[in-house]
Structure 1
Amino acid sequence: MKKFLFLILICFAQNVSSQTIKKDDVLIIDEPNNTPPPQGAIPNDDNNIYNTAGIDVKPEFPGGQEAFYKFFKQNYRITTDNLKGKIYVTFIIEKDGSLTDIKILRDIGHQTGAEAIRILRKSPKWSPGIQNNKQVRVLYSLPITIN
């Protein structure tokens, strides 16, 4: 019982001391901006990063997944014989469709990860993900097979 009362006393003391306002402190609030947003515009202040599983419209490479793999194959430069395997890559598709924060989770060596990053930086803008009729940032994971 003593421990419980001591715990309540500590919580009460913290609550009282954290909500005191000194007389010298001045709280300044910005003046409200009464200009309405342009008609038809939906303000998009959401900078959260969403997963592809939880959004309404998933981001997509222009032309679809097959077009992406074709683009990747055309731009791939490493010509090491008998090099086979998968490269696992993640990146963020921004609201404007650009790719950022490109990371290689697993590669097969011989600079394949660096080459994948080079190609992804060179890729055209993707169509962004949409959640609640707003474009959002999406974390995208992609396996790339090298034959």
Structure 2
Amino acid sequence: MKIILLLLLNFVIWNHVSAQQKIVKLKLDTINVSGRLIAGDGGKLANVYIETKSQHNQYLQLKVGATTDSLGNFKLVGIKPTDTLTFFALNNEHVFVNHGSRFLNITIWPSVENFNKEGVVVSASRTSKKKPTEFKLTSLDNIGCCNISKNPEYPGGEKKFKEYIYQNLKYPLNAINHNIEGTVTVEFTIAKDGTLLFPKIINGLGYGCDETVLEILKHSRKWIPGMKNGRPIITSYQTDVVFKLVD
């Protein structure tokens, strides 16, 4: 009788350990994402339901989702690191793709002009401190004007700006050690004299990635400002820097 009880006890303990291992594995495959939904004029978007493509861990027929509070804040629990968010706001349906960011500031703009049609992918091993990136440059808004006759430009053009980013941006060691990868989105302003001003994180990764991107942009050379009717204008830009580890 004692032998049977001992065998049963060992079986229960083994099952308990196996269950714990499965739960840990499941948690590593998902992340929790907090964020805020903001209108282009700065207004907060309340009671907006945001749905993801991630399956609910308890109700398999449902997708993970969340509703924004009075300030536009939301939290998505247990979603895939790379996931698509869909929501209806300001009389339009919107789609936002998250690439591993754990905090999102999603701003809905009337329109977005994309001056860089193709991204660039640079790969490196996981132990490298160099930053493997996919880099995009997108104009978000032309402040104080409707149309511009000449877009702002980094000295030497877009290619030189990318070279400046690649040559100076290092993959933070803290992020490498924690296997952190995903997208850091930063917004900045090009002043009338070409100075790059007010860089701020829109979507962050943490672990030193956000600070690294901001530091590089703070030391950027002056740009050639955008022009309208022969006069320089202020232009806001948004840049995505994708941190990607390669095995």
TM-score (normalizing by structure 1):
0.60
Match of 1:116 in 2: 213
Give the unaligned 5+ runs of structure 2: 1-141
Q: Alpha-carbon deviation of 1:106?
A: 0.6
Give me the whole-angstrom Cα distance separating, in 1, the residues matched to 2:181 and 2:161: 19
Give me the whole-angstrom Cα distance separating, in 1, the residues matched to 2:166 and 2:221: 15
Q: Which has the higher strand share?
A: 2
> Within 5 A, what are the aligned runs for 1:95-106?
95-106=192-203
Match of 2:62 in 1: none
Q: Alpha-carbon deviation of 1:55?
A: 1.6
Match of 1:56 in 2: 149
Q: Alpha-carbon deviation of 1:127?
A: 1.0
Give me the whole-angstrom Cα distance separating, in 2, the residues matched to 1:73 and 1:108: 18
Conserved? CA contact 1:50–1:139, under 8 Å? no
Match of 2:56 in 1: none
Give the unaligned 5+ runs of structure 1: 1-47
After superposition, the C-alpha distances for 1:36-61 in whole angstroms (9 at most, x for unaligned) are xxxxxxxxxxxx9247x832211111
Tell me the number of residue pairs that the alignment of Structure 1 and Structure 2 aligns: 99
Give me the whole-angstrom Cα distance separating, in 2, the residues matched to 1:144 and 1:70: 13
> Within 5 A, what are the aligned runs for 1:25-44?
none
Instruction: Give the secondary-structure state (helix, strand or coil) at the position aligned to 1:62.
Output: coil
Equivalent of 2:222 in 119, 122, 125: 125
How big is the alpha-carbon RMSD for the aligned residues of Structure 1 and Structure 2? 2.1
Equivalent of 1:66 in 159, 166, 174: 159
Indicate the larger mover: 71-80 or 134-143: 71-80
The one-letter amino acid of 2:156's match is G
Q: Alpha-carbon deviation of 1:131?
A: 0.9
TM-score (normalizing by structure 2):
0.37
Give me the whole-angstrom Cα distance separating, in 1, the residues matched to 2:159 and 2:144: 23
Q: Alpha-carbon deviation of 1:92?
A: 0.7
The one-letter amino acid of 1:133's match is G
Equivalent of 2:235 in 133, 138, 143: 138
Match of 1:107 in 2: 204
Give me the whole-angstrom Cα distance separating, in 1, the residues matched to 2:216 and 2:156: 17
Match of 1:8 in 2: none
Match of 1:76 in 2: 169
Instruction: Give the secondary-structure state (helix, strand or coil) at the position aligned to 1:54.
Output: coil
Match of 1:35 in 2: none
After superposition, the C-alpha distances for 1:59-105 in whole angstroms (9 at most, x for unaligned) are 11122223222211211132342443221111110011111111110
The one-letter amino acid of 1:49's match is I
